[in-house]
Structure 1
Amino acid sequence: MSRKFITHARSAAGAGLLLIAALGLPVGAQTRPASGPAAPTLQPTAPKQAPVQAPTPAPMPAPRPGPPAVLPGLAPGLPVPGAAASQALATAPVSASARRLYDRSRAQLLQVRTLSNGSQASVGSGFVVSAEGHVITNYHVVSQFALEPDRYRLQYATPDGEGGDLELLDFDARRDLALLRIAGGGKAAAPQGGVSAPAANAAASDTTRRMTAAPLVFRKLDQPLAKGERIYSMGNPHDVAFAVVEGTYNGLVERSFDPLIYYSGAINPGMSGGPVLDEDGEIVGINVSTMIFAQQMSFLVPAAHAAALLARSRDAAPLKGAAWPKLRGQLMAYQEELSRNFLAQPWRTLPHPRYRFPIPQEQYMRCWGSGTPADAQGLQMQRTQCRMEHALFISESLQTGYFGVTEEVYDGSKLGAVRFANIYSGSFRNERLGGPDRDRTAPYCREDFVQQKDGPPLRAVACLRAYRKLEGLFDLTVLVTNVDSSTEGALGRFDARGVSFANATRLTRHYLQGFAWTTPR
């Protein structure tokens, strides 16, 4: 059988070169193996459910009429920036320590507002960290302004209802942090309520002096917290009022590529970017996300990353224009480090009498297994799913920077070859790759039959989706099925979001080389 190409709208040359390079194949026709079920066809369409669903945007949207919005497209247990779908605002009594810390830091707390045409588009929280009026918040709180500065503007509001404009100096999308500065020394955004401009500006200057007189400070790196210590999260949940939430430090999240603090406390929408303080009032973390379908499971960015951002960019000029080039540079550096670390790890494998399947190490991925009972009639199936549980937030419609692997092993010996071939083909055909959207192109795919030296004959499909505004970044999907048996088979899927073409090639090769015989033949 000659090579088959699956394209959408135009040539899939990029995906084809990727698969050829990954496999080291000559360009030309390749013969399909004589044995095995008929090759199923692949039909890329809009996804039913992606391996890792994109988290919802962290800033709380402006209130709208009608019932509360349901968080869309979320995989169970995926941490979501600043959102807690089933977690009500904490109502436990506030301790004396919490009251003391809130009273002491109240003047440094801010609500960070993103406005569009004078109306509130989203809100988060932030806090003052310098006498010059520098403010720390989450990148996702200000992402709309960062990517569309001509459409949005940034303002702050204090617990006393005063406010002004903010400037964006820098951001760290990888750690979900942004560095802002109060604009013009706290000059009032606009006179309101008949107040004259000079009077409004004088009031704003007084507000700025109060905020910057005693900025919050970061806890020293040589003073690590102990598991079980009480810490205090602050912010403005649901745009209701500034609040303090007392919780527990539980160390760092296991199997996370970048460090995240596990905080037993309620972080609600609108608190993203707020500070988390220790008993001495020093910053230990920044509110960033919470686990949906869970209680009191939240996550913080370690304060050291915010301190580093302040140190390197405190004298920076405000960013001008859309931040896509800066964002691209950060994502390129991140995917290079992530890919290099992933490629350095050897594959684990599932126990099977015939095949070895590539299962990733659980260093920064989490794996689950499922399958049919051993005494089940008909098709026997075992599934292993592994994925990174934290993605990088880019915009309300785009998250990236994560890998996932799924392996399904089928035994159709109780069905016979014809019935097994129908089911096996259907499983392959049901894989979804997504369609074109505002952020990415349609998937361009290349399909080949491959015979590796020490492994079973495979059918491999490699697909790429290019990022429209982040040149040189792609989403990679590799689908693999073996075609050497009429009643047994395996279906594998590898996903890498936001990688360069060079790393997509390396990752494809690495994944395919994980398929082998259990016993050399």
Structure 2
Amino acid sequence: MTTPGCSAPACGYKPASIAASLNLGRFHLFRFLLQPSARLLRPLVGLMGSLMFGGLLGVASAAPSPAVTPPPAAAAASAPAAVSATARRVYEGTRAQLLQIRTLLKTQDSQASVGSGFLVSEDGHVLTNYHVISQFALEPERYRLRYATTEGQEGQLELLDFDVRRDLALLRAPAGALKGRGALSFRPADRPLAKGDRIYSMGNPHDVAFAVVEGNFNGLVERSFDPLIYYSGSINSGMSGGPVVDEDGRVVGVNVSAMFFAQQMSFLVPGEFARQLFERSRTAKPLSAPAWPRLREQLLRYQDELVTRFVAQPWASAGHSRYQLPVPQEQFMRCWGRGTPADTKGLEFQRSQCRMEHAVFVSDAMQTGYLDMSHEAYDGAKLGAIRFAKQYSGSFRNERLGRDDKDRTAPFCKEEFVDRAGLPLRAVVCLRAYRKLSGLHDLSVLVTTVDASTEGALGRFDARGVSFDNALKLSAHYLEGFAWTAKKNNDKNSSSNSPSASR
């Protein structure tokens, strides 16, 4: 989610605004990445003057967050489908272990959020989604947790642990409060489901009543950094954290109540991650303080794995005739492209947008832990140099980099000229520090080619929730994706070796 805020020119030089949060002394390392090339400046004075006239700091379009509905705001309710005799049998066999999970204000019974959960031990251990209990986890002084059974029995809950990366949380009811209700077991890992197998999602949609939704297992989602199960049933708000079981009532996944692209498409956290959290933390002491330190620890581990895997991938080809532009491998990112619309009045361009489909939910106002990138390649031969420079720099100037808010600092930016194997670039690198997650930052890298008067490419790369060192790695990796194409290099070499060039 791009926060409305200052444009790149207005954000460029504000060291005092985040001096307390960023170790600014380390920014000299960025200069190592962005070494200026003085010899590039002389032949580009005319072009750069035109670019600066329009303001050269910001890119083709604001970088959006992944097209993902944040877990608490799930898809609209669908009409309930008729359930089979098997679904009725499965529900009757598991209803005693189903719970509604409610987050209430501490001093009154006003409901702040509602979700579902399920018992996994006779000792009152309950699994649900992290996002269902995130308000309590972050502000335990303001909120409390309660459960309700399918018969209406209610009681309090305590938080033992969570896995923010997989959107899971482990709770516990008071000793003996849920005794005798049984516990759901997990389907053995050595008995994987086959595509098409019927599975059954349960929970309390829209705080109306407990329900069972029948659907199919369709394997794991492609191009996902973490494993997610693609489920054909409809998961509605309020079912988050509920179990998804096989025909024998064994847990195969946990509802995350998020639907993408079309209706009747839902995704589940694999049950193995829920089982691991339960086994790891079943004897943990309850968490009573705000969970920011634990969140920070988990997010630092996650971003390190994400960055390591991403920079190990070579860049794919964008297919442009003049420039090599960074396009990621589609292992855990999805890319779209489009060409020139009819109303561009002579400016032709090709656009590519690539992003991770899933973010890590921290709170209603903060999703992090994802990568997003785009580029636009322009041909303004029909416009002429002056008109092209105005539109080209205007696209860069319109970029938004965020602003100072309660979760993150204002951006601190550095810009330099960069020589990438003879291709002159202008690069802007910006960081925003997280206020309550020390050591994590949002990174934005903006790049524009400055080699021609009527042709160019703009690029933007965003990484949410990365360490300073990993921001350096990602910046260097992104810049390495820009170069001349082999054809352009051959044309330059042919020109320099021609008889006319030697006279």
Q: Same fold (TM over 0.5)?
A: yes
**Structure 2 SS opposite 1:98:** helix
Within the candidate set 143, 155, 172, 1:152 is matched to: 143
Instruction: Give the TM-score normalised by structure 1.
Output: 0.85
> What residue number does 2:130 align with?
139
CA change 1:5–1:423 in 2 (3 A) is same
Q: Distance in 2 between matches of 1:102 and 1:123?
A: 21
| CA deviation after TM superposition for structure 1 residue 183, in Å | 2.3
Q: Superposition pairs for residues 348-387 of structure 1, below 5 Å?
A: 348-372=316-340, 378-387=346-355
Whether the 8 Å CA contact 2:17–2:409 is kept in 1: the answer is no
Q: Is the 8 A contact 2:14 2:412 kept in 1?
A: yes
- Note if contact 2:300-2:466 (Cα within 8 Å) is conserved in structure 1: yes
Residues 429 and 182 (structure 1 numbering): CA distance in 2 closer, same or farther, change over 3 Å? same
1:297-312 pair list within 5 angstroms:
297-312=265-280
Equivalent position of 1:210 in the other structure: 180
Aligned residue runs from structure 1 range 18-29, under 5 A? 19-23=30-34, 25=35
| Paired residues of 1:387 and 1:405 also in contact (CA < 8 A) | yes
Q: Which moved more, 1:97-106 or 1:382-391?
A: 97-106
Q: How many Å separate the matches in 1 of 2:72 and 2:210?
A: 15
Q: What corresponds to 1:39 in structure 2?
A: 51
The offset of 1:377, in angstroms, is 5.6
What does residue 129 of structure 1 align with? 120
| Residue 88 (structure 2) aligned to one of 87, 99, 108 | 99
Q: 1:173 pairs with 164, 173, 192, which one?
A: 164
Say whether the 8 Å CA contact 2:201–2:242 is kept in structure 1: yes
Correspondence list, 1:197-276, <5 A: 208-211=178-181, 214-276=182-244
In structure 2, what is the equivalent of residue 64 of structure 1?
Answer: none
**For residue 363 of structure 1, what is the amino acid of its counterpart?**
Q
Question: Does 2:13 align with 1:7?
Answer: yes
- Contact in 2 for aligned 1:107/1:210 (Cα 8 Å): no
Residue in structure 2 matched with residue 423 of structure 1 by the alignment = 391
Q: Is residue 89 of structure 2 the alignment partner of residue 89 of structure 1? A: no
Partner residue of 1:113? 102
Deviation at 1:8, TM superposition (A): 2.9
What amino acid is the match of 1:229? D
> Within the alignment, does 1:342 sit opposite 2:342 as a pair?
no
Per-residue deviation at 1:436? Answer: 1.5
Residues 221 and 164 (structure 1), Cα distance of their counterparts in 2 relative to 1, 3 Å cut:
same
Q: 1:473 aligns with which of 420, 434, 440?
A: 440
Q: Distance in 1 between matches of 2:74 and 2:414?
A: 40
Name the aligned partner's letter for residue 301 of structure 1.
V
1:323 aligns with 2:291: yes
Unaligned runs of 5+ in 2: 1-9, 19-23, 493-503
- Report the CA distance between 1:455 and its aligned residue: 4.0
Match of 1:17 in 2: 28
CA contact (8 A) 2:11 2:412 kept: no
Q: Quick one: which amino acid aligns to residue 177 of structure 1?
A: L
Residue aligned with 2:392, SS: helix
1: CA distance, partners of 2:187 / 2:104: 33
After alignment, is 283-292 or 233-242 more displaced?
283-292
Are the counterparts in 1 of residues 448 and 456 from structure 2 also a CA contact under 8 Å?
Answer: yes
Partner of 1:281: 249
Matched residue SS, 1:168:
strand
1:52 aligns with 65
Q: Which residue of 1 aligns with 2:426?
A: 459
Residue 99 of structure 1 aligns to a residue in which SS? Answer: helix
1:14–1:444 Cα contact (<8 Å) kept = no
How many residues are aligned here? 467
Distance in structure 2 (CA, Å) of the matches to 1:305 and 1:517: 45
- In the alignment, residue 28 of structure 2 is paired with which amino acid? L
Query: For residues 237-256 of structure 1, what are the alpha-carbon distances to aligned partners after superposition, in whole Å with 9 as ceiling and x for unaligned?
Result: 00011110111111000000
Paired residues of 2:446 and 2:461 also in contact (CA < 8 A): yes
Identify, as 1 or 2, the structure richer in helix. 2
Counterpart residue type for residue 483 of structure 2: A
* Compared CA separation, residues 215 and 375, structure 1 to 2 (3 A): closer
Cα offset for 1:351? 1.6
Corresponding position: 1:397 with 2:365: yes
Change (3 A) 1:158 1:222: same
Q: Deviations over 1:497-517 (max 9, x none)?
A: 000000000100010011001
> How far did 1:447 drift?
1.0
Q: Give the distance between the partners of 1:289 and 1:387, measured in 2 at CA.
A: 21
Cα deviation, residue 29, structure 1: 8.2
Residues of 2 paired with 1:429 and 1:153: CA distance? 46
- Structure 1 segments unaligned to the other structure (5+ residues): 54-74, 187-207
2: distance between equivalents of 1:48 and 1:183? 52
The alpha carbon displacement at 1:404 in A equals: 0.9
The letter of the residue matching 1:10 is: A
Q: Assess if the C-alpha contact under 8 Å between 2:431 and 2:444 holds in 1.
A: yes
Q: Aligned pair in 2 of structure 1 residues 381, 29: CA closer, same or farther (>3 Å)?
A: closer
Structure 1 residues 243, 492: CA separation in 2 closer, same or farther (over 3 Å shift)?
Answer: same
Partner of 2:495: none
Cα distance in 2 for residues equivalent to 1:141 and 1:34? 58
CA distance in 2, matches of 1:394, 1:138: 12
> CA contact under 8 A between 2:72 and 2:364: conserved in structure 1?
no
Once residues 221 and 112 of structure 2 are traced to their aligned partners in structure 1, the CA distance between those partners, rounded to angstroms, is 32
Find the aligned partners of 1:471 and 1:31 in 2 and give their Cα distance: 39
Bigger Cα displacement from structure 2, 157-166 vs 335-344 = 157-166
Change in Cα spacing, 1:397 to 1:42, as seen in structure 2 (3 Å) is farther
Are the counterparts in 2 of residues 5 and 447 from structure 1 also a CA contact under 8 Å? no
Counterpart secondary structure, 2:195? coil
SS in 2 for 1:507: helix
CA distance in 2, matches of 1:210, 1:89: 34
Change (3 A) 1:349 1:15: farther
Partners of 1:373 and 1:331 lie apart in 2 by: 40
Query: Aligned in 2, Cα 1:434/1:14: closer, same or farther, shift over 3 Å?
Result: farther
Q: State the 1:10 CA deviation.
A: 1.7
